[in-house]
Structure 1
């Protein structure tokens, strides 16, 4: 089959690779749609590599090439002999995380048993940790990782994954012990989302349409096309190319500063600015990845304010009775009911794997680019 293979930093090649093999509990999918994600770009640029050996060493792409693509949907073309609840022709979206249920382990690890399957002791992730991703013609996935798309268009079904990530991250914040909360004595009255990319816009919609937060939500970015979406979905845009973010926060919060900051841009300059943005003991959600170019010493003045840092990764969580990922089911509902709209963010569509290298090398840097999706007929 054909696949887009990352053979080295910024070297993405479309070539023939061996077809995936099918385990008894897996289904073979013909890939129908793949979201091109900012995390993919970080990996492509060499700013992140989550494929580690037994000693924790990052395995270079030149040593072990990777096939990216972790937001995807597909059509079942073959089922393993143990699969009895999916059949050829079914259209599904996927949780790319491999956990105890995926591996048919009778005794779940402590993380899977407590609803934290993304931290499974035996975890692997398609398109992220070295397992084959979906920028290919076919991919084999454990049946429990597949949810029927329920008539949802395949391109939108692929984008359930990043909505699931926002849902999982937001639930991590709500479960954390923090000074400022949505329903306690010290109510969150203002929020700053750093970055109006897809994640930032999904967070904004989640806050407005799911949590029904009616306070001030600032969203910072320097791209007006993105900030137009901020306005559309009920946020207050701050164009950092035109206005100093610290001054904007001071003015728009009447000097109170930020109660809850969501770092969704992966730009390390935020850590230099953060001491002048947040209140003491504010909540900070670390969602973005990348953060190249800053020394860790920038944390000093942030730590002095005692913020509650919350880290969250991925969309996996607990399991429904059928062993399928509960977070993905809830995210699918949010997308299908348009409580979180994903279609307005899609600015670029690709019709073949051969177009994908251009997406990474050129389109990501275009001013009119927000989200790209590969759609394979």
Structure 2
């Protein structure tokens, strides 16, 4: 079959590889329909390896680069192991792409996303979404309703990242929130905040078409840091007090600093972005006002099921998220190069398929 494999930063190749086969009684084989290019994939393309194992085999998959990329995907079940009961051939599904060991304290506590050996399908090896087929453990395969199209279903994974970040930060309905960045995860966070009852959503985004994307996703106001004092505006918009909670979705030092200053004493800053280099912080800015800075990674528990329901019901519209659809053969030139080039801010989510029927639809 055809697949896109990461060899090193700047080196992704579309090539023929063996079709995966079920090798465990609890495995599910999926024919892939659509897979989105994620910000994590871009980080690996520009500055990897970050999650991808290179010198030492991944402790769960046993693989090293080259690995098949892609973890935001939807597809159809074509085969299941003899002990699989939650899905069957013909079911329409998405996959929660967590590689975990099941045995560490985090896994035992039901916090799979904090597994000490955490990996991601499409980064850690043993398959991925930029291919014709993949196999994965049945417990992470989720059925989707017929009312949710395959292309929109490929948004479940990134929106679940935003959804989980609200949980990580202790968000409650009625809060005033700030989101830095209107890329995919920023937009997902905005839509989740609106769906779950935020009082006000303020977005920090430099002037580009992404400001319009933010407004379309429900932002009440968009602040351009090149045109205003972001911290002063956040406080003005919150009666001089500051926001209750903020979400850093850019990986930029300036945005981190603005959000930390923009939340009130006792407020929470959630870091969802993956950083390519270390950040710096004056810990007194956290300690003295008792602010909380928390990390958020991936998703766990019922996050996927909740997002599937919110998407299918229209409570999370996610209109305009899909800005481009391309063939697998064109993934580098039309995908990665577009998302890292001068026109990158025009894009939100580029979906990839090797299925002619999908591409011609």
TM-score tier (shorter): 0.7 to 0.9
Within the alignment, does 1:7 sit opposite 2:11 as a pair?
no
Question: Kindly tell me: are residues 274 and 204 of structure 1, through their superposed partners in 2, closer, same or farther at Cα, counting changes over 3 Å?
Answer: closer
Alignment of 1:1-377 (within 5 A): 1-23=1-23, 24-46=25-47, 49-52=50-53, 64-99=65-100, 109-121=104-116, 123-151=118-146, 152-174=148-170, 182=172, 188=175, 190-210=176-196, 212-214=197-199, 216-232=200-216, 233-292=218-277, 295-296=279-280, 301-317=285-301, 326-350=302-326, 352-358=327-333, 359-365=335-341, 366=343, 367-377=345-355
Contact preservation (8 Å) 2:286, 2:292: no
TM-score (norm: length of structure 2): 0.85
In the alignment, the residues of structure 2 paired with residue 20 and residue 172 of structure 1 have an alpha-carbon distance, to the nearest angstrom, of 35
3-state SS of paired residue (2:187): helix
Contact preservation (8 Å) 1:162, 1:315: no
Residue of structure 1 in register with 2:358 after alignment: none
1:160-183 Cα shifts (integer Å, max 9, x gaps):
111222222212222xxxxxx637
Deviation at 1:98, TM superposition (A): 2.8
1:258-307 Cα shifts (integer Å, max 9, x gaps):
32111112223223434532323320101111253x55355564555432
Deviation at 1:197, TM superposition (A): 1.4
Deviation at 1:369, TM superposition (A): 1.0
Question: Kindly tell me: are residues 124 and 83 of structure 1, through their superposed partners in 2, closer, same or farther at Cα, counting changes over 3 Å?
Answer: same
In the alignment, the residues of structure 2 paired with residue 331 and residue 316 of structure 1 have an alpha-carbon distance, to the nearest angstrom, of 12
3-state SS of paired residue (1:13): strand
**Cα RMSD between the aligned structures?**
2.8
In the alignment, the residues of structure 2 paired with residue 110 and residue 263 of structure 1 have an alpha-carbon distance, to the nearest angstrom, of 28
Deviation at 1:13, TM superposition (A): 1.2
In the alignment, the residues of structure 1 paired with residue 152 and residue 51 of structure 2 have an alpha-carbon distance, to the nearest angstrom, of 26
The aligned length equals: 345
3-state SS of paired residue (1:288): coil
Residue of structure 2 in register with 1:323 after alignment: none
Contact preservation (8 Å) 1:68, 1:132: yes
In the alignment, the residues of structure 2 paired with residue 52 and residue 302 of structure 1 have an alpha-carbon distance, to the nearest angstrom, of 34
TM-score (norm: length of structure 1): 0.82
Contact preservation (8 Å) 1:272, 1:298: no
Deviation at 1:77, TM superposition (A): 2.1
Contact preservation (8 Å) 2:231, 2:262: yes
1:69-90 Cα shifts (integer Å, max 9, x gaps):
1111112222223334433322
Question: Kindly tell me: are residues 297 and 48 of structure 1, through their superposed partners in 2, closer, same or farther at Cα, counting changes over 3 Å?
Answer: farther
